C-alpha cells in the first residue's frame, strides 16, 4: 500500500498536486480540511467547534482529527493507498498516525514537503480568498498567523519523518507539471511492490 504525506504551509499547492497524484496512483484523498468543512456545511456540533478554531487560524484537537482519519480508513479498506493532505500537522499527530496505520497493517511510505516563501503564500491565499469564501483566506493577519503556526509547530514534523528516512523537500514555486514530475520521482523510489489487484481502488472517500 502506498501512503503519502503531502506537506507544506497553507497555499503551497498541496491541493493541486493531490488531485494529480490521485489520478496517477489511484489513491484515496484524505484532507482533514475537506473533512472538517463537510462537517461545517452540515452544521454538526463538530463542525461548529471546528469553524470557530479555523476562523481564528488555530488547529482542531488531535483526537477529533485522528477519529476522522480512522473512520476514513475503515471505509476504504480495499484502497491502493492514501494521500494525507495537510496532515499530520504536529509530531504527536504523526506519532498517532503511525500507530493508527500500524493497526490497519500499513505505514507511511514517504513525506513530500512543498516549500514556498511566506510572501508568496500570502499573495496566493489572498487571491484564493476572492473565490474560496473562506474567512481565513481573506484576512492577511490570519494568513500570517497560519504560516507562523506551520513554521513553529508543523515544520517539526519534517524532522520526525527525516529520522525515518522518509522526508523529501521540493521547491513549491514553478510549473505545476514540473513539480508533479519531481513528486512522482520521489514516490516511485518508495512505492512498494504490490499485486495488480491492489491498484483497483476508489479515489473517493466514502461517507
Binding residues for AMP, as ranges, are 32, 37, 58-60, 86-89, 93, 134, 146
CA distances from 78 to 2, 22, 75, 151, 203 (A): 12, 15, 9, 35, 11
Known catalytic residue: 14?
yes
d(CA 138, CA 121): 13
Q: Which of 20, 49, 134, 144 is catalytic?
A: 134
Q: Which residues are annotated as a binding site for ATP?
A: 11-16, 128, 174
Q: Which of 20, 49, 107, 128 is catalytic?
A: 128
Known catalytic residue: 134?
yes
Q: Which of 89, 124, 142, 166 is catalytic?
A: 89
Q: What are phi and psi of 6, to 5 degrees?
A: -100, 120
Known catalytic residue: 128?
yes
Q: Which of 14, 124, 142, 166 is catalytic?
A: 14
Please state whether 44 falls in left (phi above 0), alpha (psi between -120 and 50) or beta. beta
d(CA 78, CA 9): 30
Whether 109 contacts 191, CB under 8 Å: yes
Q: Which of 51, 124, 142, 146 is catalytic?
A: 146
Q: What are phi and psi of 106, to 5 degrees?
A: -145, -175
Q: Which residues are annotated as a binding site?
A: 11-16, 32, 37, 58-60, 86-89, 93, 128, 134, 146, 174
CB atoms within 10 A of CB 56: 13
- What residues act catalytically? 14, 89, 128, 134, 146
Amino acid at each position: 500500500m502506498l501512503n503519502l504525506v503531502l506537506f507544506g504551509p497553507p497555499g503551497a499547492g498541496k491541493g493541486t498536486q493531490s488531485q494529480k497524484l490521485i489520478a496517477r496512483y489511484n489513491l484515496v484523498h484524505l484532507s482533514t480540511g475537506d473533512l472538517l468543512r463537510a462537517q461545517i456545511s452540515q452544521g454538526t456540533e463538530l463542525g461548529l467547534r471546528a469553524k470557530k478554531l479555523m476562523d481564528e487560524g488555530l488547529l482542531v484537537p488531535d483526537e477529533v482529527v485522528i477519529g476522522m482519519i480512522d473512520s476514513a480508513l475503515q471505509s476504504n479498506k480495499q484502497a491502493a493507498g492514501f494521500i494525507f493532505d495537510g496532515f499530520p500537522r504536529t509530531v504527536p499527530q504523526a506519532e498517532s498516525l503511525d500507530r493508527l496505520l500500524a493497526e490497519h497493517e500499513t505505514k507511511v511510505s514517504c513525506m513530500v514537503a512543498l516549500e514556498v516563501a511566506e510572501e508568496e503564500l500570502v499573495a496566493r491565499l489572498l487571491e484564493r480568498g476572492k473565490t474560496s469564501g473562506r474567512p481565513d483566506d481573506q484576512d492577511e493577519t490570519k494568513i500570517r498567523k497560519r504560516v507562523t503556526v506551520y513554521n513553529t509547530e508543523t515544520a517539526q514534523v519534517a524532522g520526525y519523518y527525516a529520522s525515518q528516512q522518509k522526508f523529501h523537500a521540493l521547491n513549491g514555486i514553478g510549473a505545476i507539471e514540473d513539480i508533479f514530475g519531481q513528486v512522482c520521482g520521489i514516490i516511485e523510489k518508495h512505492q512498494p511492490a504490490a499485486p495488480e489487484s491492489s491498484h483497483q481502488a476508489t479515489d473517493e472517500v466514502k461517507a
